[in-house]
Structure 1
Amino acid sequence: MYDKNTYSGGEFKVTERVKELIAEQLGLQPEDIRPECSLQDDLGADSLDLVELLMAFSDEFGIEIEDEEAEEIVTVGDIIDALKEHE
């Protein structure tokens, strides 16, 4: 589980971990994932992938992403922003 006391570099480490989780879930390479990428249009995620990703982020970062907030997530950058709001 992510612990901001364990990781130095703050936002960079969060971004890298988000990219790793997305890559694992969608079978991609982390270096191909950029903040501006649309999860569905650019990375090929379907609705089930999105739900599974949100659960993985919740588990990894120890946060709860509300349904209203989840509906606003379109890009990788949106996920990073949502996680930063919960720090």
Structure 2
Amino acid sequence: MHSSHVVLSHGIWRHPQTELGFLGPEFYQTIAQTLERGKFDMVFFADALAFPDECKILPAITPFIGETTCDRQMWVKHYCQS
């Protein structure tokens, strides 16, 4: 099942009603708090639709489940071709 609050498009940032705060953690905290009030058990925010084509390897599942933010550029630098 897929239930999304947004439809992603490369040009959506130009729309006058676009929420521009999506780059900060407060945007996602607000969504999580709304879901919490709705009695949802969990929420997952994917950082990409798929792995980049230039990746050499796929990352393994790590024990850092509590980590809520990551630096994608650092990940690409270490695990993908330049």
Pick the TM interval, shorter chain: 0.3 to 0.5
The TM-score with structure 1 as length reference comes to: 0.35
Rg larger for = 2
Of Structure 1 and Structure 2, the greater helix share is in 1
